[in-house]
Structure 1
Amino acid sequence: QFNIIIAAIIIASFYCIEKEKDITAACFIMIGTFVKLYGIVGLAFFFFSKHKVKFVAALIGWTVLFFVLPMAITSPEYIIDQYKEWHVSLAGKNMENMFSNMQNQSLLGLVRKISHVSTYSDLWLIVPGVLLFCYPYLRIRQYGNLAFRYAFLASVLMFVVLFSTGSESSTYIIALLGVALWYVTAPWKRSRWDVALMVFAFILTSMSPSDLFPAFIRKNYVQPYALKALPCVLIWFKLVYEMMTKDYSTPQNVSEEK
């Protein structure tokens, strides 16, 4: 499975931007994009870069290099044809994943499989999801807080899984890293509801594919209805709400949430 590498690439791109190594960050983002497309979400950290022009220039440079490099052992026509076929394959796979038991274990699949409706476009969910994801960017004054930037990293790690029809059980190594970051990096004490969400994620998201989880429930409910995604969906919405409302500079009293 390559998913752990994708998670590492996303985290590495964030780390490099934090350390002002924008060229290296751009390299990680483009490697992740060319290998499995998921790496493109590293662009979400663009606004945290202190060298945006250099970052954009590096992105363009690495893109051209990684696109042209395989042509040295093949030909331009072959590489271009491969990308065309890749696009067609992804479109076909998206249709196949729609009601697959093992694929589309995401927010998109959760809604699709519970509703049993195939006629609507996933864009009805993806577009509002992107708007929610982007809304915290408006809180420019929070950019200086490391905890806020960690929250964005956590959001990216969950978003890329929850809004992909290609998400499967093993893909959640990416989302669960985001869940862990959400819990441990907040500059306030977590409430009992947050603890309950973590336990819920551990039981349903992490343990449901294993033999420690009742097979009957897994085969008849968790997989067919993409319930594995549910805890991460709830946590992501909670995270977005926190990013839109909380002050990440100082610890806060959460007694009102208990």
Structure 2
Amino acid sequence: MKRLSEFFSREKIILGVYILLSIVVGIQHYKGGPAKFNNFQIFRAAFGHLVSHQNLHLEYPKEYFDLFLYHPSFCIFFAPFSLLPLPVSLMLWLVCCSAALFYAIRSLPLAHHRKVFFWWFILFELVTSLHSQQTNPLIAAFGLLCFTFLEKGKTRWAALFPLLAFCIKGYGLIYAAMFLFYPRKGQYIGYSILWAAALALLPLPFTGTDHFLQVYRDWYTILIEDHQVNYGFSIMGLLKVWFPAFSPGDVTEVQLAGVVLFGITWLLCLYRKQYLTLEQRLLLLAYASLWVIVFNHAAESPTYVIAIPGVVLFHIVNRERLNPWSTVLIVLVFLFCILAPTDVYPPSLRRNFFQPYLIKVIPCVLVWTVLQIQLLLPHHEN
């Protein structure tokens, strides 16, 4: 048993599992036909639309279903995958997503056995995200890397990762809020401005000056329209499902309340200096990771690969503090969040219970609630 445990604790073995599963998922979806990798088709077609001066955010039913909701600069990052042969690019994309999350976890200032737990615990959630071919593992990885570089005092690179996340999905910028708990704040802001300008200008060589501003107008329009119709796998979605009279206009009101709560939490932690220890900073990172999903109107089941790192960090810190209830919470997350969309449960149960009642959301909301209370306690109790 000890040898088996040591074997599955080796980084190369875990990385090999991540890569192998990515390839298997890629092959599975490629063999299933275009409908099985529709999201990847959306990303792949975007670069061609950009260089052809087409609106990135219209429907193109002959190429794919649904809409491209991403930042214009994402087209440039994805360009290599657009140019490679389809099966190669699909599998390479999934491998890149998995490897990014693996190395981001590896970079964290945690003991090796904590990283091993992190890698294995998040694996099923990662696979769920890979099945959708979406960018969520990258956003999670960029958030963790921002934290790592802040811990190392490498402000220049720490400032880059939240902006890279923003260039995928706007909510990825939340990780930039961590800079408030570190020195060199002015330097961080300065580098952020430089990175933001450079990233915003990435599409310019491909659009030309005439079409450049229109690209961003189209992006802004689709974000506004998307915000008006979505509830997501979020607190707003739970309210909508469990309280059907909940009106569409309340999405913004709940999100505004969440923003106010986030701001109050951050200000209190700054005022009380609840960031001086690594444990406290890990809890703040956990809070940001959970908050950005549970208050996200665009959250979906595959998006929870961003929230699960928050759950893991919450558990790691509270386990060190010998809080037994953290084990109960993380078991609930594993059973009813991570495993909820998998074949562990019968299709009828998933279809008639887990999906319509957004059961996947509830355990993470519970963890976020407990963490919220933790952070609001007087300083001497944290």
Alignment TM class, shorter chain as reference: 0.7 to 0.9
Q: Residue 363 of structure 2 aligns with which residue? A: 231
Cα distance change on mapping 1:87 and 1:225 into 2, 3 Å: farther
Q: Residue 153 of structure 1 aligns with which residue? A: 285
Deviations 1:150-205 (A, max 9, x none): 001001111111111111111111111110110002341122x3222111111110
Q: Normalization by structure 2: what TM-score?
A: 0.60
Asked whether 1:208 is paired with 2:336, we answer no
After the TM superposition, list the runs of 4 or more consecutive aligned residues in structure 1 that deviate by more than 6 angstroms.
none
Q: Residue 75 of structure 1 aligns with which residue? A: 208
Q: Residue 255 of structure 1 aligns with which residue? A: none
| Larger displacement relative to structure 2 (217-226 or 58-67) | 217-226
C-alpha distance in structure 2 between counterparts of 1:223 and 1:94, whole Å: 21
C-alpha distance in structure 2 between counterparts of 1:204 and 1:21, whole Å: 38
Q: 1:51 aligns with which of 175, 178, 184?
A: 184
Q: Residue 61 of structure 1 aligns with which residue? A: 194
Instruction: Compute the displacement of 1:89 (Å).
Output: 1.3
Instruction: Compute the displacement of 1:139 (Å).
Output: 2.9
Asked whether 1:199 is paired with 2:327, we answer no
Q: Secondary structure at the match of 1:47?
A: helix
| Larger displacement relative to structure 2 (156-165 or 230-239) | 156-165
Asked whether 1:106 is paired with 2:238, we answer no
Q: Secondary structure at the match of 1:238?
A: helix
Cα distance change on mapping 1:198 and 1:246 into 2, 3 Å: farther
Cα distance change on mapping 1:4 and 1:173 into 2, 3 Å: same
Q: Residue 14 of structure 1 aligns with which residue? A: 147
Q: Residue 101 of structure 1 aligns with which residue? A: none
Instruction: Compute the displacement of 1:246 (Å).
Output: 6.0
Does the 8 A contact of 2:135 with 2:168 survive in 1? no
Q: 1:32 aligns with which of 165, 180, 201?
A: 165
Q: Residue 254 of structure 1 aligns with which residue? A: none
Instruction: Compute the displacement of 1:136 (Å).
Output: 3.1
Q: Residue 131 of structure 1 aligns with which residue? A: 260
Does the 8 A contact of 1:151 with 1:181 survive in 2? yes
C-alpha distance in structure 2 between counterparts of 1:79 and 1:246, whole Å: 50
Q: Residue 243 of structure 1 aligns with which residue? A: 375
Instruction: Compute the displacement of 1:97 (Å).
Output: 2.9
Q: Normalization by structure 1: what TM-score?
A: 0.88
Cα distance change on mapping 1:55 and 1:248 into 2, 3 Å: farther
C-alpha distance in structure 2 between counterparts of 1:96 and 1:249, whole Å: 41
The code of the aligned residue for 1:139 comes to C
C-alpha distance in structure 1 between counterparts of 2:160 and 2:380, whole Å: 30
Does the 8 A contact of 1:105 with 1:227 survive in 2? no
Instruction: Compute the displacement of 1:46 (Å).
Output: 2.1
Larger Rg: 2
The code of the aligned residue for 2:334 comes to F
Q: Residue 299 of structure 2 aligns with which residue? A: 167
Instruction: Compute the displacement of 1:248 (Å).
Output: 7.6
Q: How many residues are aligned here?
A: 244
Tell which has more relative contact order, 1 or 2 (C-alpha 8 A, sep 6+): 1
Deviations 1:56-92 (A, max 9, x none): 1111111111112321232233232122111221222
Q: Percent identity over the alignment?
A: 30
Q: 1:89 aligns with which of 202, 222, 241?
A: 222
Does the 8 A contact of 2:139 with 2:306 survive in 1? yes
Deviations 1:95-147 (A, max 9, x none): 4434xxxxx11112111222223343213212222232233331332221111
Instruction: Compute the displacement of 1:224 (Å).
Output: 1.7
- Output the aligned Cα RMSD: 1.9
Deviations 1:226-252 (A, max 9, x none): 2211000011010011112165898xx
The code of the aligned residue for 2:300 comes to E
C-alpha distance in structure 2 between counterparts of 1:248 and 1:20, whole Å: 27
